[in-house]
Structure 1
Amino acid sequence: MPVTVVRLNLVDPEATPESLSRRYRAAVEMAAFADEQGIDTVQTEEHHGAANGWLPSPLTFAGAVLGATRRIAVTVSALIVPLYDPLRLAEDIAVLDLVSGGRLVAVAGIGYRPEEYAGLGREWKRRGALQDEALETLLAAWTGEPFEYRGRTVRVTPRPYTRPHPTLLVGGSSKAAARRAARLGLPFFPSAHLPELEAYYHARRAEYGTEGWCVMPAARTSLLHVAEDPERAWAEFGPHLLHEARMYDSWQSDGGVHSAVRSHAEDVAALRGEGVYRIVTPEECVALAKEDGEAASLVLHPLCGGMPVEEGWRSLRLFAERVLPRLKE
């Protein structure tokens, strides 16, 4: 059976307190529904200062989802680790790991927007050093033993539930990220399908003598919306998908960032033809899973780009009622 994911990043072009509150509450309810239906993962992410409210506090949101569910994993992909105080981050993740019984998965990213660093008072030019310090601090903190941190001896409690530590992967699309993961003995999660980077990671692991594995995105990754009538849905809701795609693309204009879900479309017609965002019938969704076989991953994006909550629910329920049973067969 393919991996099934519900992606929730809480984008809302209106971004009023009322509209965002309704969207956040719906997202937690959708996560609870996904948990009941047997969907594997809720995925969320982190961005700061976006006019459309793109989720800036993924651990708080993860805590709400973990509290409303009993089985489903919650993946933060990615958590911009250099923007956090490392000791507080270690505590927060440990508490979430204990509350959830080990269901939180954190992908440690370094970020690619200087304005996020400036807004939170971090030095963009020191991001690599900040990432190294933070990851080393997390691993030391989660042992529960005293360790040296910035010239003083500290100890972080409580210890997490998961041994040897909560699930932590290093994300990125650079050799520096791959080396960092290899050196620390952490799994590597490239942000796009980059087989040569996976090979580089394993070569560096061999040099460092560390354990680890790579979670490689599929060559084709589509963000899915399920509808009975895709033609109608594209006409009515295509602008929501385009809104998110255009903002995400604008953040990566320097060309140094690789992403499995980046679109370059300028209008809805181009977006539809490109295939990064897809509106499919339940039958087409099942066919997608069969095409990819064991490597299949279905990423449902029910609230994409400010999608009306009611339409998001229609998509999620169609997936649960007419796609999941076929996948389980």
Structure 2
Amino acid sequence: MPVTVVRFNLVEPGATPASLSARYRAALEMAAYADDRGITTVQTEEHHGVANNWLPSPFAFAGAVFGATRHIAVTVSAVIGPLHDPLRLAEDISVLDLLSGGRLITVAGIGYRPEEYALFDVDWKRRGRLQDELLETVLKAWTGEEFEYRGRTVRVTPRPFSDPHPLLLVGGSSKAAARRAARLGLPFFPSAHLPELEAYYKDRLIEYGTEGWTMMPSAVTPLLHIAEDPDRTWAEYGEYFLHEARTYASWQSAEIRSAVKSAATTVDELRAEGVYRILTPDECVAQGLDNHVLHPLSGGMPVDEGWRSLHLFCENVLPRLKDLEG
């Protein structure tokens, strides 16, 4: 069956603490509902200091999801590695791996917003070296053995559940990211459909004598919203998708390659692009996608509308995808 994902970034422009709390709790209820119906993955992400309240703490959210579910995986895509203390990150991921029985997937990127580095007083120019240190450190930490770290001997406990360690991928769209993944023998997660970068990564695996694999987005991986009347839904809720698309666009320079990248400035332009798609259940099945990424609360979408989308997907799309697989 195609991979099925429910994505949450918990954006809500103009939120109050009460409304944002309700949104967070709704997301957990949605995750539990998705888990019960066989959706494979919850995807979340990390951004800091964003006016629309973008989720800054993906691992805290992942822990809550694990507490509310039994089977579903959580992919943090991506954690901004250089903003984290390596030893503390190793501990946090290890604890989540133990709590979930190995359901956490972490994609480590270096980010693309200098403002986030400034917020935490981290040197933007050192991000590559900091990422190298972080990845090398967490891999050593998860052995449970003593190792040298910044001139002293340290040991991190507890060891994680997963053997040899929790699933950790290196994310990015640069050759430097591909080299980093290959050198460490870690899987590579290109941020867009980049076959030439995948080939470069495979060449570097040979060069370094390491083993790895690629988890690359499909050439077409739209963000989905399911509705019985797409025309009406675009008219009523299109501004929420546009808000998120414009937020992303404001962060991404020309050289950034991303599976979610839009040049739209109006709802009509956004609809024509196809990065965000509002589909009927029949249209969704007919797309024949390898990955179905549902984004029920996109851009601060009202929770009730998010539930309508999720219900339609789970009740009218997911069973048919299973039938096609059978």
TM-score (norm 1): 0.98
Q: Which residue of 2 aligns with 1:306?
A: 300
Tell me how far apart the structure 1 counterparts of residues 215 and 107 of structure 2 sit (CA, whole Å). 11
Listed one character per residue, the Cα deviations across residues 44-80 of structure 1 (whole Å, up to 9, x for unaligned) are 0000000000000000000000111000000000000
Q: Which residue of 2 aligns with 1:131?
A: 131
Say whether 1:62 aligns with 2:62: yes
Distance in structure 2 (CA, Å) of the matches to 1:113 and 1:16: 25
Distance in 2 of aligned mates of 1:160 and 1:180: 23
Q: 1:261 and 1:2 mapped to 2: Cα distance?
A: 19
1:262 — aligned with what?
A: 261
Task: Write out aligned runs for 1:58-97 (5 A).
Answer: 58-97=58-97
The answer to whether the 8 A contact 1:15-1:51 is kept is: no
Report whether the alignment pairs 1:284 with 2:283.
yes
Secondary structure of the structure 2 residue equivalent to 1:134: helix
Render the CA deviation track for 1:126-145: whole Å, top value 9, x for unaligned. Answer: 00000000000000000000
Match in the other structure for 2:311: 317
Deviation string for 1:227-277 (max 9, x for gaps)? Answer: 00000000000000000000011000x212110111110000000000000
Match of 1:106 in 2: 106
Q: Secondary structure at the match of 1:26?
A: helix
Partner of 2:284: helix, strand, or coil?
Answer: helix
Q: Distance in 2 between matches of 1:286 and 1:8?
A: 22
1:12 paired residue number:
12
Query: 1:170 aligns to what SS in structure 2?
Result: strand
Tell me, in whole angstroms, the C-alpha distance in 2 between the residues paired with 1:15 and 1:158. Answer: 38
Question: Taking every aligned residue pair, what percent have the same amino acid on both sides?
Answer: 75
Q: Per the alignment, in what secondary structure is the counterpart of residue 70 of structure 1? A: coil
- 2:140 corresponds to which letter in structure 1? A
Matches within 5 A, 1:1-329: 1-252=1-252, 254-289=253-288, 292=289, 296-329=290-323
1:42 aligns to what SS in structure 2? strand
The offset of 1:193, in angstroms, is: 0.5
How far residue 9 of structure 1 moved from its aligned partner, in angstroms, is 0.5
The amino acid that maps onto 1:287 is A
Structure 2 SS opposite 1:168: strand
Count of aligned positions: 323
CA distance in 2, matches of 1:243, 1:19: 18
Displacement of 1:15: 2.2
Partner Cα distance (2:96, 2:202) in 1: 30
Letter in 1 for 2:181: A
Secondary structure, aligned partner of 1:159: coil
- The separation in 1 between residues aligned to 2:295 and 2:262, in whole angstroms, is 15
1:13 counterpart SS class: coil
Letter in 2 for 1:203: D
Tell me how far apart the structure 1 counterparts of residues 282 and 302 of structure 2 sit (CA, whole Å): 23
TM superposition shift of 1:314: 0.4
Q: Secondary structure of the residue that 1:183 maps to in structure 2?
A: helix
Query: CA RMSD for the aligned pairs?
Result: 0.6
CA deviation string 1:282-326 (max 9, x = no partner): 00111113xx4xxx1000000000000000000000001100110
